[in-house]
Every structure is written in C-alpha cells, then in structure tokens.
C-alpha cells in the first residue's frame, strides 16, 4: 500500500503538498524520522527559498545517511518539487555557490530569460523530451504553474520535459527512481494531480 | 510560452468578502469559502486574498482561516494584510498560502523585504503598492490607502525590486471599484522601468480593459474584483475574450 513521506526539514510551506494528498485520499505523513522515511513507499521533497537556505536546513534536519540509502541503494521513488528538485543537483549558484545532494548530474543557474522579467511566474507549457510514465496522459503543451528564477542545467537524457522562457530549461527531470519537477504540481489543478498520481504508481 | 494570468482579488474583513469604491470597502458581497470553491471549479490562474482590517486593527494574520481557505484551493494562493515580520510569513506559508503580499511594512521598513526574500525566496514576496494621483504625481499611500506618503510610485517600485521583491501588485486607488478601466499610463511607466512581473489592479470594468492593460501597458497579469461580483463576469469568459484578441492565456 502506498504511503507517502513528505520530508519535513522545517521548510514551512508543506501545507499545499499535504492538501493535495489529502484531496487524493492518499496515506501520507510529514516527518523527518528515520522510521517514517524507511517505512514509506514514496518520498516527497518540496520547498521554497534559496538553494543555500534549503540545503542548510536539510543538512540540519534530515537524516541524510538514511535518506541517501533509501534513494540511491534501495531505489525508493522520490519526487522533488521546485527547489526540492534543484537541490538534487551537484551544485547551485543562488546567492552563493552551494553543494547539493548530487543525485542528478547538473547545476542550478539563473534562467537566461533574455528581456523577459524574472522570476518566471505563472502557467507555462511543457514539451515532452523523452518517454516516462511520469507524463502518462499528459499532452505536449499542457500548462503547469511555475515560480522560479533559477533552473536545473543537466544533460538531455535526464530531461523528461522542457519548458520555454527566453530559453528552454527542464520542467521534469528523471534519473531512474529520482524525479524532479520545476513547477508546482500541487498548484497546477488537474494537470498537477495527474503528475502526482503517475508518481504514486511508480 | 508563459501565459498572461487573470487573477481575482478577494478583499475580506471578518470572514466576509467586501468590495467598495476607492478603498472604501464597506459593502459585503459574499462568503469567502464559497468563492474559493467556485473559483477553483472555474479554474482561475491564481487568487489574491487581502485582509483589509488586519493593519488597521494591528492584529496577526488569521492563520486558521488561511488554512481553511487553502484546503480547497489548488491554484496558487497569495495572502496579504497586516504582515510585519518573518515569523508571520513563515506561519502564513505553514497555513497553506504560496505567496504573501506586503504593503505598509514594505514602505516603513524596506529592509524587511530584503530579509524576507533571502529567507523565503523572491518568488513568494509580492509587494502591493497603492497609489493616488496628487498634483500630477503618483504618490504611494499606505495603511489601506489612508496615509499619504511623499514617495513616487516609480521610486518605490524600483526600491522594492532592489530589495528582492518577486512581483508588484500595483493598485490605483482613484480607479479602484470604479470599473472605468485601469490606469494604463502609470502601469506602462512602471512596467518599462522594472524587470519583475507587474500585476495590474484597480478599475477593470470589462474584458476590453484587461486587453488594454496587457497589450498597451504590457503587464504580466491582470487582477480584478468588482466585475466578478457586480457584473456577473467570469475569469473564464475573460480568457475566451482575450484568446480571440490574440493574447496567450490558459484556457
């Protein structure tokens, strides 16, 4: 049976993520305990704030040895949302150079938006780049809600879908059981709920 | 391509939705929770909730109430009213909001915006700026439009951008509730001088007004309130109109 553990590292904005699991009637907990991380079937890493602030809080509040073991050795599905996706990279350049979790090759840099204003805020279309069950029943051009100034620069094989804002950058990335979405599925109405449901059957 | 957002603004006091003219909001127009459910069904792009009594009463935001609202809201939710410190912002996010809108305190203590954007990220810090035209100058007003300052809208908007604000909700007090159209020239001027998204607010009376703010003033989003209460118009219809006119919106 599915049991989601929303990783609680004191990021403060987990409520909308909790609300979506509540709405979908999914068994979930908000926790940072080793027991809950181990006993869950799926992990969610959400967050707001800058790369460095989030990494600092994660280092302070999460049992990283257990988490890394579950994700890298036991292949437990994990979904990173927004900054939660970005910190899966090796390095981030927001405010200061910071080391990330290093689960997916790449770095986080400011969006090259050309003349467009930053942050990139609002509903934007995604274009699929590779096959993955995470985008089942999602059409090319479907809209999701984004709020970001930074993006995850990675190699093409990890990119499930791109979006475009001055330049193209990853909207969904995947390295086997490790998934990240730059947008907020919990705030993207029906399209977002499809992503969450797809994640839960992985 | 990024879609232009249509955002209903919901003003409330004592859990009732209110709306008036030129910031005199005494008329009760409905229930907050009913509206949220309705808007969620209508698939709006985002919602802005402003507690217009919080600053006046010097009270904390109503966290329990925000939590109740957010339970039924699966679109981005921006909450404002009476925000003065980081702890309040933290608690508002904890209650389920995605962004905060800060007005008076941003003016009184601009450094607070720098701290807030560093702590939570620029993208969730919206600065709400209210202004009135006085002797051909657009001056910032604070305390729900009751206190005049001598700072120009352009000067203050730029300062807020420098402090790390992620977006500006720009409201013309003169136009508010009149349904006579937005203040297009000021919106255009602010938009040209800034590099963060601008949300037009105050004066929308028709879908054509929204079109003008988007096409002429080049704003990133349009907020409206009265037309959704008093003219039976809907965000969905607004979008259908705008698509016909070639504007890129989410249908």
Q: Which of A50, A165, A188 sits opposite B118 (nearest CB)?
A: A50
Cβ neighbours of A49 (radius 10 Å)? 24
Q: How many residues does chain B have?
A: 251
CATH tag, B5-244: 3.20.20.70
Q: How many CA atoms lie within 13 A of A192 on its CB side?
A: 27
**Contact criterion met (CB < 8 Å) for A121 and B123:** yes
B220 touches chain A (CB under 8 A): yes
Pairing state of beta strands B147-152 and B137-142? antiparallel
Non-local CB neighbours of A200 within 8 Å, separated by 6+ positions: A2, A4, A26, A42
CA distance A152 to A173: 9
Q: Which of A12, A147, A192 sits opposite B90 (nearest CB)?
A: A12
Secondary structure, 3-state, B21-76: ECCECCCEEEEHHHHHHHHHHCCCCCEEEEECCCCCCCCCCCHHHHHHHHHCCCCC
pLDDT digits (tens, 9 = 90+) for A107-146: 999 999 999 999 999 999 999 999 999 999 999 999 999 9
Contacts of A188 in chain B (CB under 8 A): 74
A186 is catalytic: yes
B152-182 burial, b at 16+ Cβ within 10 Å, e below that, comes to: ebbebbebbbebbbbbbbbbbbbbbbebebb
| N- to C-terminal Cα separation, chain A | 12
B125 touches chain A (CB under 8 A): no
Which ipTM value was assigned to this complex? 0.92
Fold of A4-200: Rossmann fold (3.40.50)
B95 touches chain A (CB under 8 A): yes
Contacts of B118 in chain A (CB under 8 A): 50, 53, 95
**Contact criterion met (CB < 8 Å) for A13 and B220:** no
pTM: 0.94
The torsion angle over the Cα atoms of residues A137, A111, B215 and B125, rounded to 10 degrees, is 90
Question: Structural domain boundaries of chain A?
Answer: 4-200
**DSSP string of A139-198?**
PTT-EEEEEESEEEE--GGGEEEEEEESEEEEEEEEETTEEEESS-GGGSHHHHHHHHHH
Q: How far is CA A70 from the centre of its chain?
A: 17
| N- to C-terminal Cα separation, chain B | 14
Q: Which residue of A has its CA nearest to B165?
A: A119
Q: Which of A49, A123, A149 sits opposite B119 (nearest CB)?
A: A49
Q: How many residues does chain A have?
A: 202
Q: Which of A19, A83, A145 sits opposite B76 (nearest CB)?
A: A145
Q: What's the longest Cα–Cα distance across chain A?
A: 48
Q: Provide the β-strand partners of residue A30.
A: A6
pLDDT digits (tens, 9 = 90+) for B173-221: 999 999 999 999 999 999 999 999 999 999 999 999 999 999 999 999 9
**Contact criterion met (CB < 8 Å) for A147 and B95:** no
**Chain A residues in contact with chain B using a Cβ-Cβ cutoff of 8 Å:** 12-16, 19-20, 22-23, 48-50, 53, 83, 95, 116-125, 143, 145-149, 164-165, 184, 186-189, 192-193
Tokens 């089942």 belong to residue? A136
Q: State the catalytic residue, choosing from A42, A82, A94, A120.
A: A82
**Contact criterion met (CB < 8 Å) for B123 and A53:** no
CA distance B30 to B19: 10
Residue-by-residue pLDDT tens, chain B, 251 positions: 899 999 999 998 888 888 878 888 778 888 888 888 777 767 789 999 998 888 777 778 889 989 998 988 888 999 999 999 999 999 999 999 999 999 999 999 999 999 999 888 888 999 999 999 999 999 999 999 999 999 999 999 999 999 999 999 999 999 999 999 999 999 999 999 999 999 999 999 999 999 999 999 999 999 999 998 887 899 999 999 999 999 999 98
The 3-state DSSP class for residue B131 equals: strand
């Amino acid at each position: 049976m599915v049991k989601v553990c929303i990783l609680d590292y004191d990021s403060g904005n987990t409520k909308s993520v909790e609300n979506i699991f509540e709405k979908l009637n999914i068994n979930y907990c908000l926790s940072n305990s080793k027991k809950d991380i181990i006993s869950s079937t799926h992990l969610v890493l959400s967050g707001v704030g800058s790369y460095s602030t989030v990494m600092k809080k994660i280092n302070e509040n999460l049992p990283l040895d257990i988490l890394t073991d579950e994700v890298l050795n036991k292949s437990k599905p994990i979904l990173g949302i927004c900054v939660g996706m970005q910190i899966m990279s090796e390095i981030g350049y927001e405010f200061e150079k910071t080391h990330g979790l290093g689960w997916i090759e790449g770095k986080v840099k400011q969006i090259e938006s050309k003349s467009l204003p930053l942050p990139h805020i609002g509903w934007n279309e995604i274009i699929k780049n590779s096959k993955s069950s995470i985008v089942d029943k999602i059409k090319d051009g479907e809209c999701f809600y984004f709020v970001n100034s930074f993006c995850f620069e990675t190699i093409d094989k990890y990119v499930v879908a791109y979006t475009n804002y001055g330049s193209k950058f990853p909207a969904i990335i995947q390295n086997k059981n490790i998934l990240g979405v730059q947008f907020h599925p919990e705030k993207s109405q029906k399209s977002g709920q499809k992503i969450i449901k797809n994640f839960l059957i992985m | 391509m990024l879609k232009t957002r249509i955002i209903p603004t919901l003003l409330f006091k004592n859990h009732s939705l209110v709306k008036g003219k030129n910031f005199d909001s005494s008329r009760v127009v409905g229930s907050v929770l009913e509206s949220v459910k309705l808007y969620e069904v209508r698939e709006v792009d985002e919602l802005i909730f402003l507690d217009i009594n919080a600053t006046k009463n010097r009270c904390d935001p109503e966290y329990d109430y925000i939590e109740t609202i957010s339970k039924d809201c699966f679109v981005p939710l921006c909450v404002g009213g009476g925000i003065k410190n980081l702890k309040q912002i933290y608690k508002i996010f904890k209650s389920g909001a995605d962004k905060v809108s800060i007005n008076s305190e941003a003016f009184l203590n601009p450094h607070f915006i720098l701290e807030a954007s560093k702590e939570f990220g620029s993208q969730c810090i919206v600065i709400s700026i209210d202004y009135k035209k006085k002797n051909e100058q657009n001056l910032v007003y604070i305390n729900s439009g009751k206190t005049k300052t001598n700072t120009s809208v352009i000067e203050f908007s730029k300062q807020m951008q420098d402090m790390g604000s992620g977006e500006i909700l720009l409201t013309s007090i003169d136009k508010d509730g009149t349904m006579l159209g937005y203040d297009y020239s000021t919106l255009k001027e602010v938009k040209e001088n800034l590099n963060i998204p601008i949300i037009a607010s105050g004066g929308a009376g028709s879908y054509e007004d929204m079109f003008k703010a988007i096409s002429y003033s080049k704003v990133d989003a349009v907020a409206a309130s009265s037309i959704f209460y008093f003219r039976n118009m809907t965000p969905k219809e607004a979008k259908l109109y705008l698509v016909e006119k070639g504007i890129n919106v989410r249908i």
